[in-house]
C-alpha cells in the first residue's frame, strides 16, 4: 500500500493515481486528507501539494491542473513543467515538479480539446502536440515518469517491494479495409478492369483477371500467411474489419451482403478476436455508426465491443462518446497516422477520461505506436530502414517495460506489388516480440 496525503479532492487526481499505481505499477494506494495525516503508517508516503512536508515523505508539488475543472489554455505552463520533468528523468533525480499534472494532461489528451489546426481529413495532427514540439514523441514520457517515481519510492523506502510482473509484449492488430482487392466485387471489378485498360495498367489488369478466376490468387488474400506468422511466433492478432454499407472515396469494402465476404469474416471471428473498423463516413453521421455495428453484430451473432477508426479518424470527445453509446468497450485508435510514437505518452492501456463532463468512463483505450502505412507512405522508409526503426521501438519498449502495439494491413503483405519486402518487416516485429519476451 502507498499512502497519498493531499487536500485535492477531484476526479482528475483519482483518475491519474489509479492509472499510475493500479494500472501500471500494480499496487494499492490510499488517499489521506490533511486532517488525517497523523494516522500511523510505515509504508511509502507521497505528499502531494501540501507545503508542511515531513522528511519521511516524498514531496510532489501541485501545479494546479488537477484541482481545476473545465478546459483552459495551459500549454505554456505544461510545456515548462514537461521540460523540468525531462531534466529530472535524464539526471535520475527525485522529482521536484508535478508529474501527476503532466501525466493527466497527456493521457486525458487535454491538448486535443484546445484550438488546433486539423489536417485535410479533419484529424488532430502530431505536430500540434507537446510531445512532438519537445521532440519526444518517440518516448513514452508518461511511462518514464512512472518508472522514475517507482525508483524514487524504492530508494526512499528500500523495504517496500513492487510486484515483478512483466508488462512488455507485442500486440499485433490487423486492419482489413478490403478483404480482397479484386475477388467477389461483381460489376465494380468489371469497371475497375476497364479503367486498368484505359490507363494502360496491364499489371493490375492481369492480377484482377487472375483473382476473378480464382480468389486464392487475390493479392490481399494473405490470411494463411498471417496465420502462419502468428503461430510461428506465438502471438494472437486482433482483427478490425471495415463493414460500411455504402462505399465512398475512403470506404471501399465489399458489399456487406456478399456471401463470400460474410463467410470469410465469420471464419476469422471463429479463430480470432474481431472488432469493427468504423467507416470514415460514420464520423459524419452517428446513425451510420449505429447501423454498421448493428449489421456487424447480426452477421457474427454476437455483440462486438472493440473498434478502431478507419483512417484513424479520431475526434475528441465526439468519437469516443459515440462508440460508448453503441456498446464499444475498447478502442485501438490512439495513435497518429503520420508519425510513429506515443500519442498519449504511454504504451499502457488506460480508461478514457471525458474532459467535458469531468468523469472517468468505462471505455478502455489501447494506444498503438507503429503502423505499416506510417512507415512506408508517410515517413517514406525503405523496408530496411523500417526494420531499423522498429528495432529501436522494440528495444525501448523493453527498457521501459511497456507493451508495444502495431497496426498492419492484410494488403500490406502483398509481396507481388508495392509492398514487396514488407512481409519480412512485419515478421521482424513478431520475431522481436518473441526475443524480447525470453
**131 lies in the same domain as 174:** no
Measured from the Cβ of residue 32, the count of other Cβ atoms closer than 10 Å reads 17
Q: Which of 235, 316, 242 has its CA nearest to residue 272?
A: 235
Residues 6+ apart with CB under 8 A from 263: none
Q: Is residue 188 part of a domain?
A: no
Domain count of the fold of the chain: 2
φ/ψ of 405, rounded to 5, equals -110, 130
* C-alpha separations of 54 from 9, 57, 299 in Å: 21, 5, 61
**252 lies in the same domain as 135:** no
Distance CA 252, CA 279 (A): 9
Give me the domain span that covers residue 230: 170-181+219-436
Q: How confident is the model at residue 50, as a pLDDT?
A: 86
Would you say 94 and 152 are in contact if contact means Cβ atoms under 8 Å apart?
Answer: yes
Q: Which of 370, 159, 328 has its CA nearest to residue 240?
A: 328
For 356-361, the CB contacts below 8 A with 24+ separation are: 356/71, 356/113, 356/317, 358/11, 358/12, 358/69, 359/11, 360/11, 360/15, 360/18, 361/320, 361/324
Q: How confident is the model at residue 190, as a pLDDT?
A: 60
Q: How confident is the model at residue 229, as a pLDDT?
A: 97
Would you say 319 and 309 are in contact if contact means Cβ atoms under 8 Å apart?
Answer: yes
- Hey, what's the torsion of the CAs at 104, 37, 24, 358, to 10 degrees? -30
Distance CA 28, CA 21 (A): 7
Measured from the Cβ of residue 233, the count of other Cβ atoms closer than 10 Å reads 18
**134 lies in the same domain as 268:** no
Helix axes 75-91, 99-107, angle to 10 degrees: 120
**106 lies in the same domain as 176:** no
SS3 310: helix
**229 lies in the same domain as 138:** no
Instruction: Quote the strand ranges of 324-420, DSSP E.
Output: 330-334, 350-354, 359-367, 370-371, 404-409
Q: Is residue 337 part of a domain?
A: yes
pLDDT in tens, the chain (438 residues): 999 999 998 999 999 999 999 999 999 999 988 655 556 778 899 999 987 667 788 999 999 999 999 999 999 999 999 999 999 998 888 888 999 999 999 999 999 999 999 999 999 999 999 999 999 999 999 999 999 999 999 999 999 999 988 899 999 999 999 999 888 876 566 666 567 677 786 766 677 666 666 777 888 999 999 999 999 999 999 999 999 999 889 999 999 999 999 999 999 999 999 999 999 999 989 999 999 999 999 999 999 999 999 999 999 999 999 999 999 999 999 999 999 999 999 999 999 999 999 999 999 999 999 999 999 999 999 999 999 999 999 999 999 999 999 999 999 999 988 999 999 999 999 998 554 333
What CATH number is attached to the domain comprising 246? 3.20.20.370
Q: Is residue 204 part of a domain?
A: no
Would you say 341 and 137 are in contact if contact means Cβ atoms under 8 Å apart?
Answer: yes
Residues 6+ apart with CB under 8 A from 289: 278, 282, 283, 322, 323, 326
**224 lies in the same domain as 370:** yes
Give the cell for residue 235. Answer: 502471438
Give the cell for residue 200. Answer: 494502360
Q: How confident is the model at residue 392, as a pLDDT?
A: 97
Give the cell for residue 265. Answer: 469474416
Question: In the block, which residue shows the cell 503532466?
Answer: 102
- Find the distance separating the first CA and the last CA of the chain, reported in whole Å: 30
**174 lies in the same domain as 129:** no
φ/ψ of 31, rounded to 5, equals -105, 125
Residues 6+ apart with CB under 8 A from 318: 283
Q: Is residue 298 part of a domain?
A: yes
Q: Up-side HSE of residue 212: CA atoms within 13 Å toward CB?
A: 15
Would you say 2 and 27 are in contact if contact means Cβ atoms under 8 Å apart?
Answer: yes
State which H helix or E strand residue 148 sits in. Answer: helix 141-156
Q: Is residue 354 part of a domain?
A: yes
For 132-139, the CB contacts below 8 A with 24+ separation are: 132/339, 133/79, 134/79, 134/82, 134/83, 134/86, 136/86, 137/336, 137/339, 137/340, 137/341, 137/342, 138/340, 138/341, 138/342, 138/392, 138/393, 138/396, 139/341, 139/342, 139/396
Distance CA 340, CA 394 (A): 12
**306 lies in the same domain as 402:** yes
**177 lies in the same domain as 260:** yes
Distance CA 56, CA 262 (A): 63
Would you say 176 and 410 are in contact if contact means Cβ atoms under 8 Å apart?
Answer: yes
Question: In the block, which residue shows the cell 486464392?
Answer: 216
Measured from the Cβ of residue 411, the count of other Cβ atoms closer than 10 Å reads 21
**118 lies in the same domain as 177:** no
Q: Is residue 283 part of a domain?
A: yes
Q: Is residue 190 part of a domain?
A: no
**149 lies in the same domain as 177:** no
**260 lies in the same domain as 364:** yes
Residue range 350-389, pLDDT digits in tens? 999 999 999 999 999 999 999 999 999 999 999 999 999 9
Q: How confident is the model at residue 225, as a pLDDT?
A: 97
Q: How confident is the model at residue 211, as a pLDDT?
A: 62
Amino acid at each position: 500500500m502507498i499512502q497519498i496525503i493531499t487536500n485535492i479532492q477531484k476526479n482528475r487526481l483519482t483518475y491519474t493515481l489509479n492509472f499510475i499505481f493500479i494500472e501500471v505499477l500494480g499496487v494499492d494506494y490510499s488517499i489521506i486528507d490533511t486532517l488525517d495525516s497523523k494516522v500511523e503508517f510505515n509504508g511509502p508516503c507521497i505528499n502531494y501539494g501540501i507545503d508542511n512536508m515531513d522528511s519521511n515523505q516524498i514531496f510532489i508539488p501541485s501545479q494546479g491542473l488537477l484541482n481545476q475543472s473545465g478546459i483552459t489554455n495551459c500549454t505554456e505552463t505544461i510545456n515548462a513543467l514537461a521540460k523540468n520533468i525531462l531534466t529530472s528523468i535524464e539526471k535520475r533525480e527525485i522529482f521536484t515538479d508535478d508529474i501527476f499534472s503532466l501525466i493527466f494532461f497527456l493521457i486525458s489528451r487535454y491538448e486535443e480539446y484546445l484550438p488546433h489546426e486539423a489536417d485535410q481529413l479533419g484529424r488532430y495532427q502530431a505536430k500540434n502536440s507537446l510531445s512532438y514540439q519537445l521532440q519526444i514523441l518517440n518516448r513514452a514520457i508518461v511511462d518514464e515518469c512512472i518508472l522514475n517515481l517507482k525508483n524514487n519510492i524504492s530508494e526512499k523506502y528500500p523495504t517496500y517491494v513492487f510486484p515483478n510482473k512483466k508488462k512488455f509484449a507485442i500486440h499485433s492488430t490487423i486492419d482489413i479495409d478490403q478483404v480482397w482487392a479484386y475477388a467477389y466485387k461483381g460489376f465494380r471489378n468489371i469497371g475497375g478492369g476497364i479503367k486498368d485498360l484505359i490507363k494502360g495498367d496491364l499489371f493490375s489488369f492481369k492480377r484482377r483477371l487472375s483473382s476473378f478466376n480464382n480468389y486464392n490468387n487475390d493479392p490481399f488474400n494473405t490470411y494463411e500467411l498471417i496465420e502462419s506468422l502468428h503461430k510461428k511466433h506465438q502471438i494472437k492478432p486482433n482483427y478490425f474489419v471495415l463493414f460500411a454499407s455504402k462505399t465512398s472515396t475512403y470506404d471501399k469494402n465489399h458489399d456487406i451482403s456478399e456471401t463470400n465476404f460474410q463467410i470469410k469474416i465469420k471464419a476469422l471471428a471463429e479463430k480470432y478476436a474481431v472488432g469493427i473498423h468504423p467507416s470514415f463516413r460514420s464520423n459524419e453521421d452517428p446513425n451510420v455508426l449505429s447501423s454498421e455495428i448493428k449489421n456487424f453484430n447480426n452477421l457474427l451473432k454476437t455483440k462486438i465491443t472493440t473498434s478502431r477508426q478507419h483512417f484513424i479518424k479520431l475526434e475528441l470527445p465526439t468519437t469516443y462518446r459515440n462508440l460508448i453509446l453503441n456498446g464499444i468497450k475498447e478502442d485501438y485508435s490512439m495513435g497518429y497516422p503520420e508519425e510513429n510514437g506515443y500519442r498519449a505518452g504511454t504504451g499502457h492501456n488506460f480508461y478514457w477520461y471525458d474532459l467535458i463532463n469531468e468523469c472517468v468512463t468505462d471505455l478502455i483505450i489501447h494506444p498503438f505506436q507503429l503502423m505499416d502505412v506510417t512507415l512506408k507512405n508517410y515517413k517514406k522508409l525503405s523496408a530496411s530502414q523500417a526494420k531499423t526503426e522498429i528495432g529501436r521501438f522494440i528495444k525501448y519498449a523493453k527498457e521501459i517495460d511497456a507493451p508495444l502495439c502495431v497496426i498492419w494491413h492484410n494488403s500490406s503483405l502483398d509481396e507481388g506489388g508495392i509492398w514487396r519486402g514488407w512481409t519480412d518487416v512485419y515478421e521482424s516485429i513478431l520475431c522481436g516480440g518473441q526475443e524480447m519476451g525470453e
